[in-house]
Structure formats: C-alpha cells, structure tokens
Amino acid sequence: MSNQSYGPGSPKSFHAYPRGEFDLESGNSSKVRRSKNPQSEPLKMLKSIGNRFYHFYKLHPVAIFLISLSFGVTILIVLSVYESRVRMMGYRRVDDLRVGSGSYPFANLRNLVMVAGHSIYTSNSCGKIDREDSWFLEPYQRHPGQAATFLSHIREGVEIASKDEGALLLFSGGETRRDAGPRSEAQSYWAVAESKGWFGKQDSVRSRALTEEHARDSFENLLFSVCRFRELTGTYPQNITVVSYDFKGERFAHLHRSAIGFPEGGFFYFGTPASPSVKEAAKKGEASVRVQFQEDPYGCLGSLHHKKLKRDPFHRTIPYPNGCPELKGLFSYCGPVPYPGSLPWTQ
C-alpha cells in the first residue's frame, strides 16, 4: 500500500462536487450568486437621475433655464441678506464698544458746519494773520487781499456755529503743501480762530470746534467732514452748512452734494467774495474745475486724481472710512454717474 502525500508538491486536489451549490436531493448544481456591490448603487441612482434630467432638458429647455435662473437669484439674495446682517452686527458691535467707552464726545450734536481750507499758516506769530507772507500761497493766490479772505471764512464758520448749539464746527484740509512742512490747512484755521479769541464766541463755539486733516480737494472737504462727524457724534449730520468762496457755490451745493446723495433741503452754502483783484480770473478758473467735476464727480480719474496725489506730499494714510463704515461703498466708488448704493441719509 503506497502512502499518498498531501503536501505542497502533491497532485491537485479532487473536488467531489462541481463548484457552486449542489442539491443532494435533485442532483443538480446551481451557480453561485454573486453579492451585489453596495458601492455601485449610488452611482446607478445618480446615473438614472442624470438621464432623467437630460431627457427632461431635451423636452423642456426653457423650463430648465428658468428654474436654474430662479435658483441662482435665490442664492444671491440669501447671501446678500446674510452679508448685510453680518456687516450690521459688526457695526453695532463697534458702536456699542464706542458708546460704552464714552468715545463719542459730541453725541448730542446733529448739524455740521464745515469750513473748507485753502492755505496753510506758516508765520511763527499769530499777529500777522491778515498778511499774505504769513501764509503759504500758490502763484495764483499771491495777490493783495488773499489772506483776508481766509480770515473771513474762519470768522463766518464760527459765527454760523455760534447760532446753532447743535452744530459741530469742522475746519477741513490736509497737509497739502510740501514746502509748508507737515502742517495742515485745518490746524492753521483752528489756530487762527484760537488767536482771535474765536471772534468773541469762545465760550459757545471753541468746545465744539475740531479739525478734519486729510482732505485734498473740495469734494474730500465735504465727504471726509461727513465721515469725521460720524466719528465724533456716532451719527450722520441732519443738516450741512459749507463755508467757502461764493464762486464755488455751484460746485459744492450741486456737484459735490449730488455726488454724496445728500438731500438738497438739508444742505446750505455760505460763500464769501474773492479778492477784487482776482475776481474775474477766479470765476474763469472755477468754470474749468466745474467741468472736470461734472465729468468726474468723485475726482478719481484724470487731472483731478493727479491733483490730489500732488496734494499729499507726505503720503499720509487716509483713515476713512474706518470711522464711517456705512459709507464704505461710497468711498470706494468711482464713476461718471452718482453712487447707486444706499446711504444713511437716503434710507
């Protein structure tokens, strides 16, 4: 009797029954059922949905387009509402912190009186205010009587503010002249008012007279002062009064006011005359500037933009609109037509 080896080198094993299931009673064998792959089911379902969508699109393409458009618009509306709520919550948090820390020192004031600066006082003595050599003047400003016009603007701003206990007086103008050093137009005007004892209105005006020291042109005089008002009061002005030259009335009261969308009924302009020796030349020059602002209301293009860059010799960083977040869109807007977004005074 031979011994049969069953090791690795042994012959192939014999299968008593064919592969698959074998029915002992009937003697029949059946194929083994392969288990379904569970991972293929979602793919088949997606494929089926895709096929149905494709056939529906073939039959009703317009309906699919309208449904897709409606879905997209809905998503945009939801995102816009969400963004607005997040932004407003951020504004409220900032306002709450400021109110809690008492950082709105003029929360009771409601109206703005803005005096637009035109030069920088450079004399070491405040006793020479009405002399041209005490001010840094551009060539077109060097004529008799020019210094007196600056003094007139300061006096009128103080006078107007003294008649309105709810007004904040702002002198506006940045460090616009390199050779004048790091002195702002606004600080010059405030210092002149101080040296003059606020023209007899010190007790009623001085405590609510401040500066806006970044404006580089007339449009920024207005816009930046509105933002500065918001920084100091926590609200936006109900009424705005601008003091400058009489020949600039159209520029401020129409072009600049329209550019920021401020209501005409709450905007007032007080103009003083230019020096008689340059009155006609001033009107002619103003006509040219008005045309430029008509074409470029926000001074963000061409010659107006380049002029602003030249009036920032010390590269001062403009802090706005940090203090007036509701105007962020307006500050970043540049176009030939008025800003289309909502503003605090148009809501």
pLDDT tens profile 136-161: 999 889 989 999 999 999 999 999 99
Q: What mean pLDDT value characterizes the chain?
A: 85
The answer, yes or no, to whether residue 89 has pLDDT greater than 70, is no
pLDDT tens profile 179-193: 999 999 999 999 999
Mean of pLDDT values over 104-128: 92
Q: What pTM does this model have?
A: 0.72
pLDDT tens profile 276-331: 888 889 999 999 999 999 999 999 999 999 999 999 999 999 999 999 999 999 99
pLDDT tens profile 219-262: 999 999 999 999 999 999 999 999 999 999 999 999 999 999 99
pLDDT tens profile 4-39: 444 444 444 444 444 444 444 445 554 545 555 555
- Whether 100 and 217 have beta carbons less than 8 Å apart is answered as no
- Between 15-24, 62-71, 79-88, 194-203, the lowest mean confidence (pLDDT) is in 15-24
Chain mean position to CA 156: 31
Tokens of 5: 């080896």
- Between 97-101, 120-124, 209-213, 217-221, the lowest mean confidence (pLDDT) is in 97-101
* SS (HEC) of the chain: CCCCCCCCCCCCCCCCCCCCEECCCCCCEECCCCCCCCCHHHHHHHHHHHHHHHHHHHHCHHHHHHHHHHHHHHHHHHHHHHHHHHHHHHHHHHHHHHHHCCCCCCCCCCEEEEEECCCEECCCCHHHCCCHHHEECCHHHCCCCHHHHHHHHHHHHHHHHHCCCCEEEEEECCCCCHHHCCCCHHHHHHHHHHHCHHHHCHHHHHHHEEEECCCCCHHHHHHHHHHHHHHHHCCCCCEEEEEEEHHHHHHHHHHHHHHHCCCHHHEEEEEECCCHHHHHHHHHHHHHHHHHHHHCCCCCCHHHHHHHHHCCCCCCCCCCCCCCHHHHHHHHCCCCCCCCCCCCCCC
